[in-house]
Amino acid sequence: MAVLKPFKAVRPVKELAGNVAELPYDVMNTEEARTIGEKNAFSFIHVDRAEIDLEKDVNPYSVKVYEKARNNLFDMIKKRILVKDNKENLYVYRQIMNGRSQTGIVGCTSIDDYQKGIIKKHEFTLESKEKDRINHVDFCNANTGPIFLTYRAKGEINNIVSKVTAGEPEYSFVSEDGITHIVWVIEDENTINKLTNLFKEVSALYIADGHHRAASAVKVGLKRREENPDYTGEEEFNYFLSVLFPDRDLAIMDYNRVVKDLNGMETSELIEKIKEYFEVEKLDDEVHYKPDEKHTFGMYVDETWYKLTAKKGTFDENDPVLSLDVSILQNNLINPILGISDPRKDERIDFIGGIRGIKELEKRANNDMKLAFSMYPTTVQDLMKVADSGNVMPPKSTWFEPKLRSGLFIHELQ
C-alpha cells in the first residue's frame, strides 16, 4: 500500500514558471550553474546551487552555501516569485521531448514507505552526496527537488489523469533545451481522494532517478522526528516531494562507457581476448554503431566500430542483475580484460549519457580516451526486477530523459 499525500506547494507565479524552472542541481558543475545564474535572476539554480552567489573560492559544502540557499529561497517567497497554495492539492506534470510525453502525479510520499521498502531502490548512494542534500533540505526547511518515481500503470489512475489534463493547465512553457513542460492543479477533493485511495492499492513505487535526494529527504525526516519526540506522523517532515509516473510513459536511454587505455595491449590482442566471451564483427567505416537488441554492444577503437555479441554462458538470464548488459560488459570485458574492477572509483573509465549521441563517444575515444562502448538501454522492467529482488544495479545503468525541473514545486517541511 503506497501513500500519496496532497500538499500546499510553494510554486512560481504563473508568468514566471518558465524562468524559475531549472535542471536538477546534480547535472551540472559549479561553473555551468554560475553561467545559468548570471543569465537568469529568477532561476531556481540560485537555491539549488547557491555557491554561485558567493565568492568563487567558497567551498560548495560550507555552511555559508546552505545559509545562502535558505536566504535565496526565502527571498523568492518574499518577492512573491514563489507563492504557497492555500490548500493541499495534487498536481499533474507533463513533459514532452522529441514527440514523446511522460505525465506524472506530483504529491508527497512517505518516509515510512521508504523505510519499509514499499518505495524501492536500485542504486547505492554515497554518504558524501547524501550529506550535501541533507544540509540543503534541513537549512531550507523544504524539499526543493522532486524524486522521480514510477509504478506499474493502473487504468483507473490513467483515466483520472486523462480527465485532469483535458482541462486548462496552470503552466505551459518550453525550456531552452526544447522540452515542453505543462502543469495542472488538482484542487477537487473528490479527485484527490480517489487518487490517494487508488495508490493504496499500488504495492510498490520505484525510484527511477533521485536516489540521493530520496535518501537525504528521509534522513532529514527522521532527524526531525528525533527533534520532535511527540510527533504524530502527520507533520510535513514525514513526507517528501515526488512525481509518480506510470511505467508505460518512461523510456531509459543508453548509458555508454569510454576507457582511457587498452590495459597495456595492442588492439589486435584486445580483440583476440574479447573473442573468448563475445562474437566480434568488424563494421564498415561509415557505420556508427548503436545496439538495437539486448546482449549486443558497440566497441569503437582506432576509428573503427565493432559489434560484440555476448556468447552463451557469459551471463545468467535468470539473474536480474547478472543478465543486465551493463553487468555482462563489466564482468566479461571491462574487469577481466581491461582491469577495471571498480568502475565507481577507477579514473580510467568515464560514462556518457545517451542524450550526447554516438558522435560524442567517437570524439572522446579519438581524443582523451582510447576506446568506447555503446550500450543497449536498460528497460524500466529490468529496473523493477532488480529492485523487487532487493538487489542494486551496477553503477551508471540508467539515464532518464527528460529530467524533472526543480523549482516548479517546493514542499515545506513545517
At residue 30, the pLDDT reads: 87
How many angstroms separate the Cα of 337 from the Cα of each of 130, 226, 259, 277? Answer: 33, 50, 12, 10
pLDDT digits (tens, 9 = 90+) for 276-309: 999 999 999 888 999 999 999 999 999 999 999 9
At residue 395, the pLDDT reads: 84
pTM of the shown model: 0.92
At residue 27, the pLDDT reads: 83
pLDDT digits (tens, 9 = 90+) for 113-167: 999 999 999 988 888 889 999 999 999 999 999 999 999 999 999 999 999 999 9
pLDDT digits (tens, 9 = 90+) for 34-82: 999 999 999 999 999 999 999 999 999 999 999 999 999 999 999 999 9
pLDDT digits (tens, 9 = 90+) for 311-326: 999 999 999 999 999 9
Reported as a pLDDT band with limits 50, 70 and 90, residue 328 is: very high
Number of Cβ within 10 Å of residue 249's Cβ equals 17
Strands 349-353 and 255-259, sheet pairing: antiparallel
Average pLDDT of the segment spanning 172-185? 97
At residue 403, the pLDDT reads: 92
Exposure b/e, 318-343, CB count within 10 A at least 16 = b: eebbebbbbbbbbbbbbeebbebeeb
Reported as a pLDDT band with limits 50, 70 and 90, residue 106 is: very high
* Separation of CA 235 from chain center: 27
Task: Please state, rounded to an integer, the average pLDDT across all residues of the chain.
Answer: 96
Domains and CATH numbers, the chain: 10-251+401-412 (no CATH), 255-376 (3.30.1760)
Q: Assess whether pLDDT exceeds 90 at residue 273.
A: yes
At residue 285, the pLDDT reads: 84
Q: Assess whether pLDDT exceeds 90 at residue 275.
A: yes
Q: Assess whether pLDDT exceeds 90 at residue 331.
A: yes
Q: Assess whether pLDDT exceeds 90 at residue 264.
A: yes
* N residues, the chain: 414
Rg (CA), the chain: 23
